[in-house]
Amino acid sequence: MGAFQQKVWLITGTSSGFGKRLVASVLARGDCVIATARDLEKLRAVFPAPNGRLHLAVLDIADSTELIAQRVKAALAVWGRIDVVVNNAGYGVKAVLEEGGAIAALTQFQTNLFGVLNVTNAVLPHMRERRSGTVVILGSRSAWRPEASPAGLYAASKAAVHGERSVPPSTSPHTTSNSPSLFSLPSFVPLPAIGETYATELRPFGVRVLIVAPGAFRTEGVHAYPPTITTRIPAYEDARNAGLARFAAVAGRERGDPARAMELLVDVVKGEGRAAGREWPLWLVLGRDAYADVRAKCQKILETMERWEDVATDLEFEQCELGAQGA
């Protein structure tokens, strides 16, 4: 592989889950990887024989902005550049909103939102200068189904980095006439979020953004974390326990293969394999369950808008109508 084809990837959260599989997929394609995690010894246990294309480093995305910037600067010095940054590291708080409160929310957002901001912003000056680069944000289909308590805070943190979009029927060749295209979502009723904002702000510099929304895959994920209860409220006992039981029932039984998902992610970034010849997607929704959930939420929002459109859109000043008629 020529040097101009070989990419350098910086990936966070690589000691388990999607991150571990992504490192393997990237190395198999001949690219270079700076694999990071909070615990270097754990990382060395996962990758006991790093080769000339794999560099292991400590990076805790819950650290301060200044320390993360130092870690990224050191990563840039390894091969002199970073072509792809993958924000994979994350943390899953399981809490009923009233029981977890702001303390649980701050913990959740420190990692899943502010950590993504800090890592990405530390890499961006380099990418802007080179006028080239790819920013990948690993989110979750949970952002599209926050009603699945007690994962509301986790869903909220992922919605913050995603941005949700409700979409009208699409005529994309990859969908039926009644289904929205989820490989490249058209703009419709956008909600602000950093992933989509980055895409707009970085486009003039030749930097691409990919927002990944996986469904249920068999990884070490949100199931690994105990519930967070700042103030126990007996009234939520039954609902909390039922939600935790639902999590436990699917843990280790998910149908999604994380290795195959990460192979597709590498295809998309490199424009190869199953992504060859396809338009760059802002969104990459992964898994049958994720497709079903996102479609259901889009349809629910559209149906609600249609029911309320007659009264919810007739809210302009009367002078505007008069002015329009006069013109």
Long-range contacts of 259-262 (CB under 8 A, 24+ apart): 259/21, 259/24, 259/25, 261/18, 261/21, 261/214, 261/217, 261/286, 261/287, 262/18, 262/21, 262/22, 262/24, 262/25
SS3 for 325?
helix
And the tokens for 229?
Answer: 């209860």
Does residue 139 contact residue 195 with C-beta atoms inside 8 Å? yes
Q: Of these residues, 154, 198, 236, 291, which one is catalytic?
A: 154
Q: Does residue 154 carry a catalytic annotation?
A: yes
Residue 151 pLDDT level (bands cut at 50, 70, 90): low
In tens, the pLDDT along 89-109 reads: 877 777 777 777 788 778 877
Residue 259 lies in a domain: yes
Query: Which range marks the domain in which residue 290 is found?
Result: 8-326
Number of domains in the chain: 1
Instruction: Give the tens place of pLDDT for each residue, 5-37.
Output: 799 999 999 998 899 999 999 999 999 999 999
Question: Residue 115: pLDDT above 60?
Answer: yes
Question: Is 3 domain-assigned?
Answer: no
Domain contains 202: yes
Measured CA distances, 52 to 4, 39, 49, 56, 282 (Å): 17, 21, 10, 11, 32
Cα distance between residue 198 and residue 45, in whole Å: 35
**Residue 169: pLDDT band by 50, 70, 90 thresholds?**
very low
Task: Determine the Cα–Cα distance for residues 31 and 52; give it in Å rounded to an integer.
Answer: 10
The answer to whether residue 269 is domain-embedded is: yes
The CATH number assigned to the domain holding 236 equals: 3.40.50.720
User: Mean pLDDT over all residues of the chain?
Assistant: 81
Q: Is the pLDDT of residue 85 over 70?
A: yes
Q: When comparing pLDDT for 13 and 229, which is higher?
A: 13
Structural contact between residues 210 and 270, judged by C-beta atoms closer than 8 angstroms = no
In a domain, 2, yes or no: no
